[in-house]
Structure 1
Amino acid sequence: MQTLLTSTQMRKADEYTITNLPIASIDLMEKAARAFVQSFLRDEFDASKNIAVFCGNGNNGGDGLAIAHLLCHNGCENVKVYILNFSDKESKDFLINLQRLDESKCRKTLVNSVAELKNIKADIIIDAILGSGLNKPLEGKYAELAGYINKLNKKVYAVDVPTGFPAEGKIDANYNGIKAYKTICFQRPKINFFFPESAMATETYEVVAIGLDENFIQKQESDFLLTVEADIHHILKPRKIFSHKGTYGHALIVAGNTNTMGAALLTAKACLHAGAGLTTACIPPSGLIALNTTLPEVMALPREEFTRIENPAKFQAIAIGPGLGVSTENERLLERLISSNQALVIDADALNMLAERPDLIEKIPEKSIITPHMKEFDRLFGDHECWWDRVNTAKSQAQKIKIVIILKNQFTFICLPDGKIYINPTGNPAMAQGGMGDVLTGIIVGFLAQKYTSAEAAILACYIHGKAGDFLASDRIVVSASQIAEQISKEIMKLTF
């Protein structure tokens, strides 16, 4: 897992690297500028484009000056630097790079006010105005400049972080900072890049390595961790010789209703492809033909016979909710499963019923997994004005109830009972279709049946679910939930060997 750091911790990582590598701070800034320029030129290879580099007079501005110098050195013909004289505090490395720029052929101009900016001829703007660490909206000249740049409607590349965007913490709903096309950030993504409100500040981001000490970074205390592919390789267990269906567990899926059998079928299909040895679908009698026709490998348990099960513990994993429907009967069924004290995967209509029965929420068995999207989460735990607050509520509730909360979004937050928040980076907008949550639930219960821990099952399922979508989206604009379910076992094979 990659440890994600706050802006303060990243500055400490800079200082540690400078002291212990050792490397001069100006040389580390040069490495950062080179990494930025390499990434930038892969995107923007037309050397004739007009590039305007806006530089503040701190270290972010120092990065910008070094970037401008390197762009000129790499053959960019029309680079102009705008040095903002909005503050009398200049960093040491900014002054060194300003002197270097004076010795080069880069054009520059000093800007004392936004009113001086007229007739800027720029195809691309590089934002090196203010760096990370800002925790309040822009004010004064900086706010005026951000508004001016945004109105130019040009492609903007931000250096490390868009000016005015907080690296962590609440993101103001009335964000007034730079709106970047792309942010090229150093060594680690900012924590806030994973929150939906970040779309106001940057359309996308890329992380470039600049040589900071990785051992130091990984040892820092942080609640936020980013899942990477190596983690999945480490968790997945290859299948061994002499194993059989009993080795891989028995999953029960309580799902589907007269008009929503599709949800049950998707969940069961995903469970099969995730590798459960046996899968039983507890469904209404009206769904038997659909199940037997579509998924002959899945056993059926008619819903009215469920009460005859003497011991739910015969199943290694139980999921409830997809397409289930909200009714008094189903509420009693959910309550019965919760009282069995066996870890559950709770999704969809089961979450909606929990929202109406807050007395049951704190009775959810330990190590259970709930999988709400934003609206379901707020129905469970109250309305939230921003995602930072929502994720922190998920963190506290996961600790309080001792469950895993998978808060679904573009970047899904997996909140564990120990207070750690694992961010899943896979997945894409092509997956924005109905049934995706049903498939995710099926993958989770499939992994649980195979005796993965709740944390492992959640991390694996989210990553592989998104990875399947990323593969399928490589040659199509829309990916269906059925396609994802059928791709799961292929992705597991890729990640296992």
Structure 2
Amino acid sequence: MVQLNEEILHKVITKRPEISHKGTFGRVVLIGGNQQYGGAIIMSAEACIKSGAGLTTVITAKENHSALHARLPEAMVVDFSETKLIYQVLDKADVILIGPGLGLAKEMALLLKGILNNQQAEQWLVIDGSAITLFSDYKLSLKFPAQTTFTPHLAEWAHLSGLSFVQQTNENNRAKQALLGAKIVLKSHRTTIYDDAVAYYQNPLGNPGMATGGMGDTLAGMITGFLAQFEKNTDTIAAAVYLHSLIGDALAKDNYVVLPTSISESLPRYMKKFATERN
């Protein structure tokens, strides 16, 4: 077991090169937010953009477009009904996130299946929230498991892995991760990352103030933003996980509840700090 600390942030977060442009920091596509759960994908998008992704496109229900544009004018938006445009956008993506607020409609399962079937060798995929349930229910398969990360909470992991809460030991979790081949970010009061390359990473940070709706959506957006611009590996995923909780712990010193959007708001400042200390 490797316990995460600030060293992972100094290792992953780098100073931005002087000669750079939007494309330098990755093209990201985020998919989620049905008409009921639009806030989930908006929080993911905010975390992704404020963690530094270069170009971010959100595919979501039309009911969410105005709210998304009002809060994040930096994001581009595509409607679920625009099938041709969806696949054109996906074709250019470096990293894809699907799931926050997606819902369990059959149409969303078909979209997830299409993304899995069309994933390119150089693309990374993050599967979160509803998409984890759809993946399990429809018995879908991964095209590039090593480039896929699932971000389940304990109940979603039980559904995906077949392990009850009591059975979710590190040994059993690692065995199920090896069968999937994908990386697992298992969210709990002490989030753990499982990957064949390491025994497992454990995050020692986090606090009860972070137990609020949208926290996982924000983490998924951060992981996606980090993968878009830094090296695409488990260390980068771990850095996003650790920074998410590091900011949450700092905010909890003065706040009874830590809002996910407050973590996103703090991201540029914290990332600047660690990039500067590294260099």
Specify if TM > 0.5: yes
2:19 counterpart of 1:242: yes
Shift of the alpha carbon at 1:238? 1.2
Higher alpha-carbon deviation: 392-401 or 318-327? 392-401
Which residue identity is paired with 2:207? N
The match for 1:324 is 102
Shift of the alpha carbon at 1:355? 2.0
The match for 1:6 is none
- Contact 2:26–2:53 (CA under 8 A) maintained in structure 1: yes
Which residue identity is paired with 1:422? Y
Mark the CA change 1:230 to 1:419 in structure 2 (over 3 Å): closer, same or farther.
closer
What SS does structure 2 have at the residue aligned with 1:409?
coil
Mark the CA change 1:420 to 1:430 in structure 2 (over 3 Å): closer, same or farther.
same
Alpha-carbon displacement from aligned partner over 1:41-70 (angstroms, at most 9, x marks no partner): xxxxxxxxxxxxxxxxxxxxxxxxxxxxxx
Which residue identity is paired with 1:338? L
The match for 2:78 is 301
Distance 1:424 1:313 in 2: 34
- Contact 1:369–1:454 (CA under 8 A) maintained in structure 2: no
| Higher relative contact order (Cα pairs below 8 Å, separated by 6+ residues) | 2
Alpha-carbon displacement from aligned partner over 1:230-252 (angstroms, at most 9, x marks no partner): 22212221112121211101110
Identical columns (%): 35
Alpha-carbon displacement from aligned partner over 1:140-162 (angstroms, at most 9, x marks no partner): xxxxxxxxxxxxxxxxxxxxxxx
Mark the CA change 1:475 to 1:247 in structure 2 (over 3 Å): closer, same or farther.
same
The match for 1:315 is 93
The match for 2:161 is 381
What SS does structure 2 have at the residue aligned with 1:433?
coil
The match for 2:111 is 333
Instruction: Report matched runs for 1:24-423 at 5 Å.
Output: 224-308=1-85, 309-310=87-88, 312-341=90-119, 342-358=123-139, 360-361=140-141, 363=143, 365-386=145-166, 389-423=168-202
Number of corresponding residues: 272
What SS does structure 2 have at the residue aligned with 1:281?
strand
Q: Which runs of 5+ in 1 are unaligned?
A: 1-223
Which residue identity is paired with 1:366? A
What SS does structure 2 have at the residue aligned with 1:475?
coil
2:267 counterpart of 1:488: yes
Shift of the alpha carbon at 1:386? 2.6
Alpha-carbon displacement from aligned partner over 1:89-138 (angstroms, at most 9, x marks no partner): xxxxxxxxxxxxxxxxxxxxxxxxxxxxxxxxxxxxxxxxxxxxxxxxxx
Which residue identity is paired with 1:457? T
Give runs of ≥4 in structure 1 deviating > 6 Å. Answer: none
TM-score w.r.t. length of structure 2: 0.92
Which residue identity is paired with 1:365? P
- Contact 1:249–1:277 (CA under 8 A) maintained in structure 2: yes
Shift of the alpha carbon at 1:302? 1.2
Which residue identity is paired with 1:272? I
Mark the CA change 1:385 to 1:231 in structure 2 (over 3 Å): closer, same or farther.
closer
- Contact 1:251–1:278 (CA under 8 A) maintained in structure 2: yes
Q: Which runs of 5+ in 2 are unaligned?
A: none
Q: State the structure with more CA Rg.
A: 1
Distance 1:353 1:307 in 2: 22
Shift of the alpha carbon at 1:491? 1.8
The match for 1:17 is none
What SS does structure 1 have at the residue aligned with 2:216?
helix
Distance 1:486 1:306 in 2: 33
Partner of residue 205 from structure 2, selected from 421, 426, 451: 426
Alpha-carbon displacement from aligned partner over 1:14-50 (angstroms, at most 9, x marks no partner): xxxxxxxxxxxxxxxxxxxxxxxxxxxxxxxxxxxxx
Mark the CA change 1:242 to 1:282 in structure 2 (over 3 Å): closer, same or farther.
same
TM-score w.r.t. length of structure 1: 0.53
What SS does structure 1 have at the residue aligned with 2:30?
strand
Alpha-carbon displacement from aligned partner over 1:266-297 (angstroms, at most 9, x marks no partner): 00000011100111100111111111111111
What SS does structure 2 have at the residue aligned with 1:228?
coil
